[in-house]
Amino acid sequence: MKVDLLIIGAGPAGMAAALAAAPSGARIAVIDDNPAPGGQIWRDGPLAHLPEKARTLRQALMEADNVQVFSGTRVVALAGAKRLLVEDAERGWTLTYDKLILCIGARELLLPFPGWTLPGVTGAGGLQALIKGGLPVTGERIVIAGSGPLLLASAATARNAGASVLRVAEQASLTTLAGFSARLLRWPGKAMQAMGLLDVGYRPSSHVLAALGRERLEAVRLQQGTKVVEIPCDCLACGFGLIPNTQLGELLGCRVEQQAIAVDDWQACSLDDHFAAGECTGFGGSELALVEGAIAGHAAVGNRDLARALWPQRRHWQGFADALAHSFALDPKLKSLAQADTLVCRCEDVPFAELANRCNWNDAKLHNRCGMGACQGRVCGAAGQFLFGWTPPSPRPPLSPARIDTLRCLEAEGAPMVDR
What does 159-211 look like in DSSP terms, one character per residue?
HHTT-EEEEEEE-S-HHHHHHHHHHGGGSHHHHHHHHHH--TTEESSEEEEEE
d(CA 220, CA 143): 8
The structural domain count of the chain equals: 3
d(CA 178, CA 181): 5
Q: What is the pLDDT of residue 88?
A: 95
Q: Are 39 and 71 in contact (CB under 8 A)?
A: no
**Greatest Cα-to-Cα distance within the chain, rounded to the nearest angstrom:** 63
**One-letter amino acid for residue 414 of the chain:** G
Domain of residue 379 covers: 338-388
- Residue 18 placed within a domain: yes
Query: What burial class does residue 338 get, using C-beta atoms within 10 Å of its C-beta: 0-12 exposed, 13-18 middle, 19+ buried?
Result: buried
How much of the chain is helix, strand and coil, in % rounded to 5? 35, 25, 40
Q: What is the pLDDT of residue 414?
A: 63
8-state DSSP, 31:
E
- Residue 405 placed within a domain: no
Which of these three, 324, 351, 377, is where a domain ends? 324
Torsion sign, CA atoms 137, 138, 141, 144: positive
CATH of residue 31's domain is 3.50.50.60
- Residue 401 placed within a domain: no
- For residues 149 and 84, membership in a common domain is answered with no
Q: What is the pLDDT of residue 415?
A: 60
The candidate with the shortest Cα–Cα distance to 27, out of 69, 76, 59, is 69
Q: Are 153 and 197 in contact (CB under 8 A)?
A: yes
- For residues 122 and 100, membership in a common domain is answered with no
- Residue 292 placed within a domain: yes
Burial 167-189 (b: 16+ CB within 10 A, else e): bbbbbbeeebbeebeebbeebee
Which backbone phi and psi does 63 adopt, to 5 degrees?
-85, -10
- For residues 251 and 223, membership in a common domain is answered with no
Q: What is the pLDDT of residue 420?
A: 41
What number of H helices and E strands is found in the chain?
13, 21
Question: CA–CA distance from 74 to each of 87, 118, 255, 265, 366 (Å)?
Answer: 6, 30, 22, 28, 29
Burial 119-158 (b: 16+ CB within 10 A, else e): ebbbbbbbbbbbbbeebebeebbbbbbbbbbbbbbbbbbb
- For residues 186 and 135, membership in a common domain is answered with yes
- For residues 163 and 269, membership in a common domain is answered with no
8-state DSSP, 8:
E
Q: What is the pLDDT of residue 43?
A: 82
- Residue 394 placed within a domain: no
**One-letter amino acid for residue 255 of the chain:** R
- Residue 419 placed within a domain: no
Which of these three, 297, 324, 351, is where a domain ends? 324
Spans of the chain below 70 pLDDT: 47, 412-420
- For residues 203 and 284, membership in a common domain is answered with no
How many CA atoms does the CB half-sphere of 273 hold within 13 Å?
12
- For residues 257 and 309, membership in a common domain is answered with yes
**For helices 311-327 and 174-183, what crossing angle results, to 10°?**
170
- Residue 236 placed within a domain: yes
Q: Are 401 and 371 in contact (CB under 8 A)?
A: no
- For residues 13 and 99, membership in a common domain is answered with yes
Predicted confidence (pLDDT) per residue in 260-310, tens digit: 999 999 999 999 999 999 999 999 889 999 999 999 999 999 999 999 999
- For residues 278 and 230, membership in a common domain is answered with no
Which of these three, 275, 297, 324, is where a domain ends? 324
- For residues 46 and 81, membership in a common domain is answered with yes
- For residues 86 and 166, membership in a common domain is answered with no
- For residues 145 and 234, membership in a common domain is answered with yes
Q: What is the pLDDT of residue 44?
A: 76
- Residue 306 placed within a domain: yes
Question: CA–CA distance from 158 to each of 33, 123, 237, 345, 396 (Å)?
Answer: 24, 13, 10, 28, 36
Strand partners of residue 169: 145, 203
